[in-house]
């Protein structure tokens, strides 16, 4: 094979083996196609945001010296809360999100330093992007059989769902870890957590008791008939709290562990379906976040969180195979950026365009600045129906469409009967792993 050196390359794509490229390429193309139709966030569509400061504590025990999270530093931050699935009724049982943007502390800088996407629940249900693709095309019965074999996935799914009286009274976790590089050259894995300032608000706040092996297929569990609160009461509550004396306060925490020496142990440490032991790797209080300024609805809607924002001190862990635990974060970072560029009608880098063209999903790029004029196709009806397992994976800024092509020859209708897929198609997914 001869590499085309006439266009800029994306290291994330170059690091992937062929199977990994195929899965991520199909997912990216499918979501990109829907992004061009929907022209807005698909998941976490409706959010409420505020602006404030992150003040790093003057004394931090248990953490080596770090350039970014250095004692006494202060950063401007933006926090955006949202529901994973429900965009019309906050009373639905749902996973809740907290996206955090930390802005650079350089004088006059307005660019983000770090974007973090956190959610309720300490774990995620899929260890790798191959697991996610397989899970996506399986019926509910197959997923339930899988959960019976790996019970901790049952906990990961149900613990993400929360009853909510206030966004400010829940605990949020990154699930996926990053690589920290300290000033002395030491490297460690790190996970992030945002907790309420009030220590009396426990991690079980809003906990949902399981009523089956997995939640209903639709994911959008209706509100109780006796609940008379306004539809978007969580957004109103957050804005009222921000306007109150003292604003909304959180404790920003880190959970760190040394990078294991051997690859097998590293992959276990990166497994996002299993939380780290808090007795072995306790949470470290890093600082306090105070949100005292509400952002307008328009400002909140234009926010875009990019998990690939990184620097040498806080890096994304790469993956070369779709069976590695790091493949979810590595792969989704590329999908996020492609979808955001298309949504904003920004030119796609050549490497991304080629990546989409090589997938099994045909994407009409006629509306994009870099695309040649193509024959206009009749618009298809776009459905906003989607399943809870798609919701939890995508997180902030994700998109999915009415027709999902996740693997070669496999087309899934969102909200349709996934169990009706042929055995041959399922076998193809398993073989690709």
DSSP string, 110-169: -SEEEEEEEESSS--S-SSHHHHHHHHHS-HHHHHHHHHHSHHHHHHHHHHEE--S-GGG
Task: Over range 87-95, report the average pLDDT.
Answer: 87
pLDDT of residue 329: 87
For the chain, which domains are there? 11-432 (2.40.180.10)
419 Cβ contact list (under 8 Å, min separation 6): 138, 139, 140, 141, 142
Residue-wise pLDDT tens digits, 206-222: 999 998 898 876 556 77
Q: Report the predicted TM-score, pTM, of the whole model to 2 decimal places.
A: 0.79
179 Cβ contact list (under 8 Å, min separation 6): 187, 188, 189, 190, 259, 314, 315, 316, 317
**Which tokens go with 110?**
């307005």
- 245/137: higher pLDDT: 245
Q: With 90 as the cut, is the pLDDT of residue 133 above it? A: no
- 424/194: higher pLDDT: 194
Residue-wise pLDDT tens digits, 354-403: 887 777 766 666 556 554 333 344 444 444 445 544 444 444 444 333 34
Task: Over range 285-312, report the average pLDDT.
Answer: 88
Residue pair 123/275 in contact by the 8 Å Cβ criterion: yes
> Which of the given ranges, 32-36, 182-186, 217-221, 297-301, has the highest pLDDT on average?
182-186
Task: Over range 141-150, report the average pLDDT.
Answer: 89
pLDDT-based confidence at residue 155 (cuts at 50, 70, 90): very high
Residue pair 215/161 in contact by the 8 Å Cβ criterion: yes
CA 162 to chain centre: 17
Secondary structure (3-state) at 419: helix
Task: Over range 263-278, report the average pLDDT.
Answer: 95
- In whole numbers, what is the pLDDT of the chain averaged over residues? 80
């Amino acid at each position: 094979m001869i590499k085309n050196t006439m266009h800029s390359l994306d290291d994330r794509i170059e690091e992937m083996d062929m199977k990994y490229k195929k899965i991520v390429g199909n997912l990216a193309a499918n979501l990109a196609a829907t992004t061009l139709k929907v022209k807005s966030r698909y998941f976490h569509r409706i959010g409420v945001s505020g602006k404030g400061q992150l003040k790093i504590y003057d004394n931090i025990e248990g953490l080596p010296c770090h350039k970014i999270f250095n004692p006494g530093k202060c950063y401007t931050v933006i926090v955006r809360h949202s529901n994973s699935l429900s965009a019309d009724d906050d009373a639905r049982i749902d996973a809740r999100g907290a996206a955090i943007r930390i802005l650079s502390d350089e004088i006059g800088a307005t660019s983000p330093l770090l974007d973090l996407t956190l959610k309720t629940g300490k774990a995620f249900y899929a260890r790798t992007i191959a697991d996610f693709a397989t899970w996506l095309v399986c019926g509910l019965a197959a997923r339930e059989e899988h959960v019976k074999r790996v019970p901790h996935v049952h906990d990961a799914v149900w613990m993400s769902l929360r009853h909510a009286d206030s966004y400010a009274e829940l605990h949020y976790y990154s699930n996926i870890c990053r690589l920290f590089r300290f000033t002395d050259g030491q490297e460690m894995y790190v996970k992030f957590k945002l907790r309420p300032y009030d220590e009396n608000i426990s991690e079980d706040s809003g906990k949902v008791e399981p009523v089956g092996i997995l939640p209903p297929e639709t994911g959008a569990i209706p509100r109780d008939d006796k609940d008379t609160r306004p539809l978007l009461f969580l957004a109103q509550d957050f804005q009222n709290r921000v306007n109150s004396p003292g604003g909304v306060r959180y404790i920003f925490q880190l959970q760190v562990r040394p990078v294991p020496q051997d690859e097998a142990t590293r992959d276990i440490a990166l497994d996002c379906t299993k939380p780290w032991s808090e007795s072995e790797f306790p949470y470290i209080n890093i600082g306090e976040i105070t949100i005292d300024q509400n952002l307008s609805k328009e400002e909140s809607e234009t926010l875009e969180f990019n998990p690939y924002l990184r620097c040498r001190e806080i890096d994304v862990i790469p993956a070369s195979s779709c069976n590695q635990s790091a493949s979810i974060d590595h792969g989704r970072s590329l999908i996020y950026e492609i979808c955001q560029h298309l949504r904003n009608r920004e030119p796609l880098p050549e490497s991304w365009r080629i990546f989409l063209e090589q997938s099994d999903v045909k994407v009409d790029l006629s509306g994009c600045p870099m695309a040649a004029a193509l024959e206009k196709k009749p618009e298809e009806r776009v459905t906003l129906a989607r399943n809870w397992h798609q919701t939890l994976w995508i997180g902030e800024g994700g998109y999915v469409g009415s027709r999902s092509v996740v693997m070669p020859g496999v087309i899934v209708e969102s909200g349709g009967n996934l169990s009706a897929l042929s055995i041959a198609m399922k076998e193809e997914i398993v073989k690709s792993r």
